[in-house]
Chains A and B, each alone.
Chain A
Amino acid sequence: MQPSSSSLAASPSRSAHPVPAEPPFGVNEMRLNARQWLAVLAIVATFVSTAPRLWGSFEKFDTGPDYRIPYQLSKDYWLYERWLSKLSDPQQIAVIGDSVVWGEYVSRHGTLCHFLGAESARPDRFINYAMNGLFPLALEGLVEHYASSLNHRKVILHSNVLWMSSPQADLSEDKEQVFNHSRLVPQFRPHIAPYRADAAERLSVLVERHVGFFAWVGHLQNAYFDQQSIPTWTLEAARQASPSGLAPQGRGMLRRFLALEVPGESENDPQRGPQSPRHRAWTASGGEPAHFDWVALDKSVQWAAFQRLVQLLRQRGNDVLVIVGPFNEHMIAPEQRPMFHGLRDGIAAWLASERVPSIVPPTLASPLYADASHPLTEGYAELARQISQDQTFRNWLAR
């Protein structure tokens, strides 16, 4: 703010609009010419296109018969895509859907896929390609952008009526909501009213979907940095570190990173499986029949997404079988059950009109449900038995 020689030198001229002298470029030497920019872009493009593939060829990714994407990697779409690409046996059937297929309350040995495999006497026949936290709008995005390896295969698709049980679950109410897997839902069209990301965020999602590199960066964050951006993780690790070195969190990451191994699902997950306190019937915690604010099929955003998903799979040459429910009808207030039946039958009718084979299993016994839509381990076993005995299913398997 003091007068300086430079300010005196810059004393104004009174001539008419003199063209000013060009100011200094900057205070660094980062002034690249066109050739240098081309070199930079070539190097960056090479890295971006090869790094994920190279990483995939070195990183250990062990999957067994009952493998499912671990809960903590639920947003690792790159890993999902990589896992799908492992599907080589034409006899293997991909089962896709939300947490009902994934098995929210059960261990990986207590899922629908596990019991379907057991029924067919081939443990690796039905592969659990569900992800926790999905819903039809997100599942549509997942299949569209990360599941091209599924093309021309048999696919079992699960339909969960839960997503039409209220305008909030349907994502059709005009009120901002924060929900899982928002990066999978349509960003511009069709319009999702409760999704209020700004244009920059939406555009970045589009880029992420088309440039696999960014999904890979997401994989690194999910698999090694506790689902945080790397800077955020370093900060947390530094906070927990003691003067003598890294905290267990940091050491664990370092170990995994050096071993180049995708973390698997814990066999003793305290949140899932018969030993878990969460694994109990919905009535055990005092649950009672409730009223649902059902959304009509012709108004449902999630149902429209499900319809588009079925069409997409068929366009990709998939042989699709849809399992509708079974929703926990015991949880619906008796006077509302006709409404639910209308909805469920409407789904079945549309699938029939589209010549998509479907199974609408009967409602399981009340103690076999953990909540409105998730069965417990015995529920899955029962459901698998019912499906295996269903003629539509047998015909579909045989063709």
Chain B
Amino acid sequence: MLVVVPGFYALRTTRFWLPWLLLASYVFYGWWNPWYLILVAYSTVLDYLLVALMDHSRGERVRDPFLRGAFLISVSLLTMLIGAALVLPATLRPTLLAFALLVLLMAVGSLLASRRMWLFISLFNNLALLLFFKYARFVAENLNQVLAALGTSMQLPDPSGAMPYHLEYVLPAGISFFTFQSMSYTIDFYLGNVQRERHFLRFATFVCFFPQLMAGPIERARHLLPQFHRAPPFRLQNLTDGFSLFLVGLFKKLALANYLSLYVERIYDYPGAHDATALTLATIAFAWQIFFDFSGYTDMARGVAKMVGFNLILNFNNPYLSTGLGEFWSRWHISLSSWFRDYVYIPLGGSRGGTFLTYRNLFITFLVSGIWHGAAWTFAIWGILHALGVMLTRELERSRVYRERIPAIVKQAWVFAYVCFAWIFFRATSLDDALLIVGRIFSAAWGSPQVPALMVALVAAVWLYQYLYESRLRPLLRLGSVRVALAVCMMLYLCLFSSGGGTFIYFQF
């Protein structure tokens, strides 16, 4: 931030501002692991090309020279890749064959000149990347268990064997975010919702814009791409707003999320050793930890982007004040939930086909959303629990008594309790642990909570702030003196109490 922001302003009036942003994004990403850069660059180049090919694939332009060139290049590449797979070391074979399959699909696409085919290739490629890096081991392990249960000796190999030159098989940070962002562009172009972006650097910057590359918000092309068409003018307010957002995000992460994580880890790492009080409070603490961690990252990302004049979308809207599960999902990780709504739920039919189909679509969408978060059954159950919660809330909302007689605070409390219950499955390291925690919460004795008063006071203060923000007393929070006092308190707290860095939870997704 200390380098990129001044550098950007120094270059803002030149034609280097966009390359500077792209360079900063690549350096930022490559800092974690330079090998991952290949993946981002590959995904960017391919989706850029595929959208260009889609643009040329219209019924009357089957003989387009661009498509003919693409066909010839694809066939040549295919031949070279197959040849290379035969000649080069065996460690490269899986990668080369995967590329060969992709190139084959592209050759077919060039012949068919079908927009749908190009969309299919883009989805296939992005999902294949995700499947391989995120889910392959999980799928292989589960299938192997099934095969073993069936009594066969056949076993699927570990996916790490497919890595070229035996590179470490690890989940590239942020892969779920940049692939989703890139996919949304190709889908939106296919649907005619966005124009094709011809400027490669602009598109590449859109895919990996550094503030939101690692953990979102997942931007849409129609929102972010137009902002890269011209360097934003310098406005002092951009800087002050950016710093305001950044400070709040930093406070959420360092002062709150990291603090809560100490307590949560202590309890969740040994669930069998703790009583119902500790497990219940640790679950509530985790609910706040993940909120502070993730929304803190988003605030910082939005703050840094704002400092250089770009606007990222709002990703969290005080979700724990929701009075229903559906509302919760319109306030929590908004960019992801709207992504699933637009690209999974609505294509499945949305709420257009009656109650059963609506609930089926909701179920599938939440299940996919759960699995998006990680390759484990606990995430799938977490998704299913939310699907059931949304259905339940919808049914309850049909009742006039529930709608009008139950106070909002009671609804908020039950929604929060339900969300906390689901978080158990999200946080637990295994399904066994999750079930153990649930079992102990409802059966073990209640004892000393072992929660620091400072921790409780901090969370209560944040909840109170959010509550006031959504109440009639909101103007109080707008007072300059209140803002200054809170900012001073946050900065001093960070200086005095901060316990250092730590990675963000959502980096793993």
Contact = CB atoms under 8 A, between A and B. Distances in A.
A32 to B, nearest CB: 5
A217 B484 CA distance: 23
A7 B329 CA distance: 13
Contacts of A44: 488, 491-492, 495
A235 B314 contact: no
A214 B495 contact: yes
Interface in B226-276: 226-227, 229, 236-237, 240-241, 243-245, 247-248, 258-259, 262-263, 266
B362 interface: yes
A2 B248 CA distance: 29
A3 B350 CA distance: 8
B314 A24 contact: yes
A259 interface: no
B350 A232 contact: no
A23 interface: yes
B266 A3 contact: no
B508 interface: no
A231 B260 CA distance: 9
A27 B492 contact: no
B492 A47 contact: yes
Nearest to A31: B244
B318 A26 contact: no
A30 B495 contact: no
A338 to B, nearest CB: 48
Contact of B495 (A2, A213, A237): A213
A14 interface: yes
Interface string B301-331: 0100000000111101110000000100110
A57 interface: no
Contact of A242 (B313, B362, B448): B448
Given A200-B501, A238-B450, A26 B478 contact: no
Interface string B354-369: 0000000010011001
A17 interface: yes
A25 B492 contact: no
Contacts of B346: 3
B340 A1 contact: yes
Given A4-B330, A28-B465, A32-B244, A17 B351 contact: no
A349 interface: no
Nearest to A242: B448
Given A12-B194, A22-B311, A25-B241, A238 B451 contact: yes
A241 B453 CA distance: 11
B498 interface: yes
B162 interface: no
B359 to A, nearest CB: 11
B487 interface: yes
Contacts of B455: 231, 234-235
B488 A40 contact: yes
A26 B299 contact: yes
A217 B495 contact: yes
Given A2-B362, A18-B226, A229-B500, A29 B469 contact: yes
A217 B338 CA distance: 44
A206 interface: no
Contacts of A19: 226-227
Nearest to B470: A27
Residue from B244, B453, B454, B474 whose CB has the most chain A CB atoms within 10 Å? B244
A237 B492 CA distance: 23
Contact of A32 (B338, B341, B483): B483
A353 interface: no
B392 to A, nearest CB: 14
Contact of A20 (B226, B326, B345, B491): B226
A14 B486 contact: no
A26 B312 CA distance: 11
Contacts of B350: 3
Interface in B76-102: none
Interface string A224-255: 00000111101101110111000000000000
A20 B450 CA distance: 49
Contacts of B451: 238
B116 interface: no
A386 B75 CA distance: 88
Contact of B345 (A1, A6, A33, A232): A1
Contacts of A13: 222
A34 interface: yes
A231 B259 contact: yes
A54 interface: no
A30 B314 contact: no
A27 B452 CA distance: 28
A27 B243 contact: no
Residue from A29, A36, A237 whose CB has the most chain B CB atoms within 10 Å? A29
B496 interface: yes
Interface in B337-354: 337-338, 340-342, 345-346, 350-351
Nearest to B226: A17
Contacts of B487: 30, 32, 36-37, 40
Contacts of A284: none
Given A13-B222, A24-B314, A36-B480, A30 B454 contact: no
Given A3-B346, A217-B495, A229-B498, A17 B314 contact: no
A36 B193 contact: no
Residue from B192, B342, B495 whose CB has the most chain A CB atoms within 10 Å? B495
Interface string A172-216: 000000000000000000000000000010000000000001100
A3 B341 contact: yes
Interface in B376-408: 390
A339 interface: no
A170 to B, nearest CB: 29
B465 A23 contact: no
A14 B496 contact: no
B213 interface: no
Contacts of A43: 484, 488
A31 B245 CA distance: 7
Nearest to A238: B452
Given A2-B329, A32-B240, A32-B243, A40 B484 contact: yes
A31 B450 contact: no
Given A2-B390, A31-B240, A37-B487, 9 more contacts: A1-B341, A13-B222, A24-B314, A32-B240, A44-B495, A231-B497, A238-B450, A238-B453, A239-B266
In the A-B complex, the 8 residue pairs with the smallest Cβ-Cβ separation, listed nearest first, are A234-B452, A229-B499, A12-B193, A29-B477, A238-B452, A17-B226, A231-B259, A40-B487
Interface of A: 1-4, 6-7, 12-14, 16-20, 22-34, 36-37, 39-40, 43-44, 47-48, 200, 213-214, 217, 220, 229-232, 234-235, 237-239, 241-243
23 contacts: A1-B326, A1-B390, A2-B362, A2-B390, A3-B350, A7-B342, A12-B188, A17-B195, A23-B312, A27-B314, A27-B469, A29-B474, A29-B478, A30-B247, A32-B240, A36-B480, A40-B484, A40-B488, A43-B484, A229-B497, A229-B500, A238-B452, A239-B450
